[in-house]
Chains A and B, each alone.
Chain A
Amino acid sequence: MLASLFIDAFRFIPDNPHLLLQKTWELAELAFTALAIAIVIAVPLGLWLGHRHRGLFAALGVSSLGRALPSIALIGFFIAWLGVGFWNIEIALVVIGLPPLLTNAYFAVEGVDADVVEAARGIGLTESQILTKVELPLGLPLIIAGARIAAVFVIATTTIAGIVGGSGLGEIIANQAAYGLAGVFAAALCVSAVALLATWLLGFAERAAYRKMAPSA
């Protein structure tokens, strides 16, 4: 039964390329807009807090609270409050993406060797130069790792948003009656392809950042 489902799903993909491409595009649009907004908010904030060595408790609290929020309840909350719409779902997705970014940016800078920062201060770098020229490059791999976790979270949540009227591949997955199990499975494969591609690209960037940091290694 499962074997025939696999065959049907793989047949569904070439039979409905237009539908799948469009829904994949909608999912990518929702997910990557949210990820970009979350990065713009969380990374500078995390860097600044980490540089000041302040807000450890807040950074840890935000990360565990963020993971604890059930995405379906969170999306439901924003829909009950603001109604269904691109930006309302977008807000929920940004909220889901913030915690791993904030925590990783914080610990990326917090964890930079104090002697290195002291030496930079000693040769006369200003605080903002220390942050952008010393701490940011050294912490970059961990910051990108945070973006990778956030990307997986946000893509998964975008799919769940399909249940409550969000657009994208989740719409197919939540509507088995219309698309059949083969359609659901084909859409699921497209979602995992987007998620794996994002993970792989960010993992590549993370390793590149490591190499740049230690060119001799």
Chain B
Amino acid sequence: MTGLRVAGGGPVIPSFGHVNACLKHNGWFCTVWVHDHWGDTLQPALIQHIKLTVIAVGIGFVIAFALALIGFRWRFLHAPIGALSDFLYALPSIALFELLLPVTGITTTTILIPLIAYTLFVLYRNIVAGLDGVPAEVLESARGMGLTRRQTFFRVELPLAVPAIMGGLRVVTVSTISIATVAAYLIHYGLGGPIFDALGQPDIFRTELVAAGALAVLLALAADGLLALLQRALTPWNRVR
């Protein structure tokens, strides 16, 4: 990506004593800084953030799905699993990161465990609600057609639950992107890195704060849009009206 910088701006000429006016006045968005530090600050942070989000949501989805199957099949376990996910969700994120730091050290694992734990709350509830929402008469006709319990689940219940599941996945992906920025308070990783660097300056470095914050918002909106498109592709019957 260094090629991009050279192509865009040519060699960087140090300007001793001539600080850019925008930076001197701590402007809200100095394009000069964003341009100069895209390659060494913003872009690596953005890529780290995407990695965190994909891994956390992926693992969270697998765990939530397994838990939802358990809670759906064995009803008496539904309330305790729900209560556990409520409790995990209510714990403040910074405290969870701090508690894990002595156990898992300065690694991405320390960031990922709380992020995964937070996804369970919404995902578990949405998956169970989606499976529960299948109308009784639909299940009745599936049985009437001679489908086995397994066939009913994979061919009827699961496809009909897709909108609720995807809805949960969208909410979780967006909130994971937001919560992941907080982790940088302890571990300099992801878009929270530049945000906390900016907050750590005596005057708060506005450009870096706004640029990294805006990248997090754009990433969340892009991810939400992509998942909305995926939802449309997965439920073709919803488009035929």
Contact surface of A with B, Cβ cutoff 8 Å: 1-2, 5, 64-65, 67-74, 76-77, 79-80, 152, 156, 159-160, 162-164, 169-170, 173-174, 176, 181, 184-185, 187-188, 191-192, 195-196, 199
* Cβ contact within 8 Å between B178 and A69: yes
For B174, give its contact among A67, A79, A191 (CB under 8 Å). A67
Indicate whether B192 reaches chain A with its CB closer than 8 angstroms: yes
CA distance A173 to B185 in the complex (A): 12
- For the complex with contacts A68-B217, A76-B199, 13 further pairs of A-B residues with Cβ separation under 8 Å are A64-B224, A68-B177, A72-B182, A72-B185, A72-B196, A73-B195, A160-B92, A164-B199, A173-B95, A176-B98, A188-B91, A191-B92, A192-B90
8 A–B contact pairs at CB < 8 A?
A70-B178, A70-B181, A70-B191, A73-B195, A76-B213, A80-B206, A188-B96, A191-B95
For A181, give its contact among B89, B94, B99, B217 (CB under 8 Å). B99
Q: Which residues 209-223 in B have Cβ within 8 Å of A in the complex?
A: 209-210, 212-213, 216-217, 220-221
CA distance A62 to B91 in the complex (A): 26
For B99, give its contact among A5, A68, A74 (CB under 8 Å). A5
Count, chain B residues at interface, CB 8 A = 39
Closest to B214 in A: A73
Indicate whether B103 reaches chain A with its CB closer than 8 angstroms: yes
Main secondary structure of the interface of A (DSSP, over half): helix
Main secondary structure of the interface of B (DSSP, over half): helix
* Cβ contact within 8 Å between A181 and B209: no
* Cβ contact within 8 Å between B174 and A73: no
Closest to A83 in B: B204
Indicate whether B231 reaches chain A with its CB closer than 8 angstroms: no
* Cβ contact within 8 Å between B209 and A199: no
Which A residues are CB-close (under 8 A) to B217? Answer: 65, 68-70
Min distance, Cβ A89 to any Cβ of chain B, angstroms: 14
Which A residues are CB-close (under 8 A) to B98? Answer: 173, 176, 181, 184
Indicate whether B106 reaches chain A with its CB closer than 8 angstroms: no
- A73/B212 contact (C-beta < 8 A), A68-B177, A68-B178 known: yes
Indicate whether B63 reaches chain A with its CB closer than 8 angstroms: no
Min distance, Cβ A93 to any Cβ of chain B, angstroms: 14
Indicate whether B86 reaches chain A with its CB closer than 8 angstroms: yes
CA distance A70 to B213 in the complex (A): 7
Indicate whether B93 reaches chain A with its CB closer than 8 angstroms: yes
CA distance A156 to B175 in the complex (A): 12
CA distance A72 to B91 in the complex (A): 17
* Cβ contact within 8 Å between A152 and B178: no
Interface string of B79-94 (1 = CB under 8 A from A): 0000000110111111
Q: Which residues 193-208 in B have Cβ within 8 Å of A in the complex?
A: 195-196, 198-199, 204, 206
Indicate whether B171 reaches chain A with its CB closer than 8 angstroms: yes
CA distance A187 to B95 in the complex (A): 8
- A72/B204 contact (C-beta < 8 A), A77-B210, A173-B94, A188-B91 known: no
CA distance A135 to B185 in the complex (A): 45
Closest to B209 in A: A76
CA distance A71 to B213 in the complex (A): 9
Min distance, Cβ B195 to any Cβ of chain A, angstroms: 5
Which A residues are CB-close (under 8 A) to B182? Answer: 70-72, 160, 163
Indicate whether B102 reaches chain A with its CB closer than 8 angstroms: yes
